């Protein structure tokens, strides 16, 4: 087997020499530059598209009030332009405005999962949870105010003490005289009874229903839909004793109890947990009538 390198033909030698000419080198450099410029144009295009997406903003008009700071004691609205992203909620936008624009912007929030009930606001003329309300579902500018019919502490924070007092007035905890003999035995509840009270147990104490109620706005002693619903949850529980049920009905039958409800359905319309509050109040009215019927 021969190891001698074959000699190049005259044509091949000529082509090889030609490829090393200055002109060929310039062509290769030109192609290299073209590829680099194409990559740069693509990069700039991507950055421009990203910038255009980032420039998509939502306008928030947020209620402001601070009684402890001179110059902020007169209520006003501040406008914030918040960069929008898919799935953004009103609470997300408020947090961005606070973190990026004005750290003094004050509002309540906690779980961000529509469970704690702390971020109920008056958004575009309706009581809503900030963490549950999508910006994409609202018309701009998005107007965010504190809950009506409550004393404003600062910005979007309202005093909830009266609301909590009304809730406590109906004794919102389970009471029974019929405990099992064995302390480890459960107090069983039928499936049917559980279904009956199930919706009423979903209340998260957000105060949206109370804020929407015109009766509560004019009668500070009215128990309100949230408290009455909480009473419904225990009154209709088959495990509570009859004497306890009667005691709770006496609370509800008072002048500022269930009979003050005028069946406007505003509470049911704004409830973020879809509790049929008005229906529960009407059922308690029927129970109140039956408890006072005497047959002799």
* Residue 92 is assigned to a structural domain of this protein: yes
Q: What is the C-alpha to C-alpha distance for residues 131 and 106, in angstroms, rounded to an integer?
A: 15
pLDDT surpassing 60 at residue 7: no
Tokens describing residue 77:
């609205």
**169 and 266 in a common domain:** yes
> Is 4 within the bounds of a domain?
no
Same domain, 270 and 165: yes
| Average pLDDT, integer, range 122-128 | 97
Largest Cα span, the chain: 131
The reply to whether 20 falls in a domain is no
Give the integer Cα–Cα distance in Å for 234 and 172: 7
Q: Is residue 283 one of the residues assigned to a domain?
A: yes
Residues 121, 100, single domain; the answer is: yes
The fraction of the chain above a pLDDT of 90, given in percent, is 68
Shared domain check, 131 and 171: no
Nearest to 258 by CA among 234, 282, 292, 290: 282
Find the domain containing 140 and state its range.
Answer: 57-154
Cβ atoms of residues 167 and 205 within 8 Å = yes
Average pLDDT, the chain: 89
Looking at residue 2, what is its pLDDT?
47
| One domain for residues 169 and 252 | yes
pLDDT at residue 295 tops 60: no
pLDDT in tens, 210-245: 999 999 999 999 999 999 999 999 999 999 888 888
Indicate whether 149 and 90 sit together in one domain.
Answer: yes
Locate tokens 């579902």: which residue?
Answer: 137
Asked if 118 and 173 sit in the same domain, the reply is: no
Shared-domain flag, residues 150 and 93: yes
CA distance 147 to 221: 18
**Residue 132 belongs to a domain:** yes
Contact (Cβ atoms closer than 8 angstroms) between residue 152 and residue 144: no
Count structural domains, the chain.
2
Residues 195-200: what's their mean pLDDT?
96
CATH number of 62's domain: 3.10.20.30
Token pair recorded at residue 73:
């004691």
Do 165 and 273 belong together in one domain? yes
Domain shared by 197 and 94, yes or no: no
User: Does any domain span residue 166?
Assistant: yes
pLDDT at 104 over 60: yes
* Separation CA 81–CA 58 (nearest Å): 6
Partners of 123 in the β-ladder:
126, 144
Domain membership flag for residue 33: no
The tens digit of pLDDT for each residue in 132-177 reads: 999 999 999 999 999 999 999 999 999 999 999 999 999 998 888 7
pLDDT of residue 17: 47
- The answer to whether position 10 is within a domain reads no
Give the strands of the sheet with 126-129, arranged side by side.
76-83, 57-64, 142-145, 120-123, 126-129
Is the pLDDT confidence value at 11 over 70? Answer: no
Which CATH number belongs to the domain containing residue 235 in this structure? 1.10.1060.10
Do 219 and 98 share a structural domain?
no
Q: pLDDT (tens digit, 9 = 90+) per residue, 58-102?
A: 999 999 999 999 888 999 999 999 999 999 999 999 999 999 999
Average pLDDT value for residue range 182-188: 83
Neighbours of 85 (CB within 10 A): 12
Taking the C-alpha atoms of residue 64 and residue 70, their distance in angstroms, rounded to an integer, is 13
pLDDT of amino acid 256:
95
Q: How far apart are the first and last CA of the chain?
A: 129
Confidence of residue 292 (pLDDT cuts 50, 70, 90): confident
Strands 157-158 and 120-123: unpaired
Enumerate helices (H) and strands (E) in the chain, giving the number of each. Answer: 11, 7
**Are 85 and 138 in a shared domain?**
yes
């Amino acid at each position: 087997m021969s190891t001698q390198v074959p000699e190049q033909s005259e044509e091949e030698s000529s082509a090889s020499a030609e490829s090393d000419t200055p002109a060929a080198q310039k062509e290769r450099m030109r192609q290299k530059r073209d590829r680099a410029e194409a990559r740069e144009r693509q990069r700039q295009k991507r950055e421009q598209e990203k910038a255009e997406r980032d420039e998509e903003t939502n306008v928030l008009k947020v209620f402001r009030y601070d009684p402890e700071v001179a110059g902020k004691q007169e209520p006003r609205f501040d406008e914030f332009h918040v960069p929008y992203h898919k799935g953004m909620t009103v609470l997300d936008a408020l947090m961005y405005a606070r973190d990026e624009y004005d750290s003094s912007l004050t509002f309540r929030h906690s779980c961000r999962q529509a469970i704690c009930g702390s971020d109920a606001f008056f958004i575009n003329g309706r009581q809503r949870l900030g963490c549950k309300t999508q910006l994409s579902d609202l018309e701009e500018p998005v107007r965010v105010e504190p809950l009506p019919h409550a004393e404003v502490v600062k910005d979007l924070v309202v005093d909830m003490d009266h609301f909590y007092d009304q809730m406590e007035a109906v004794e919102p905890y389970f009471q029974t005289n019929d405990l099992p003999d064995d302390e480890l035995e459960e107090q069983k509840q039928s499936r049917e009874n559980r279904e009956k009270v199930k919706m009423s147990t979903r209340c998260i104490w957000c105060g949206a229903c109370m804020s929407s109620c015109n009766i509560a706005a004019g009668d500070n002693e009215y128990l309100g839909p949230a408290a009455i619903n909480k009473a419904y949850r225990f009154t209709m529980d088959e495990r509570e004793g009859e004497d306890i049920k009667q005691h709770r009905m006496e609370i509800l039958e008072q002048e500022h109890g269930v009979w003050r409800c005028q069946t406007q359905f505003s509470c049911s319309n704004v409830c973020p947990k879809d509790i049929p509050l008005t229906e529960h109040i009407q059922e308690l009215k029927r129970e109140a009538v039956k408890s006072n019927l005497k047959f002799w």
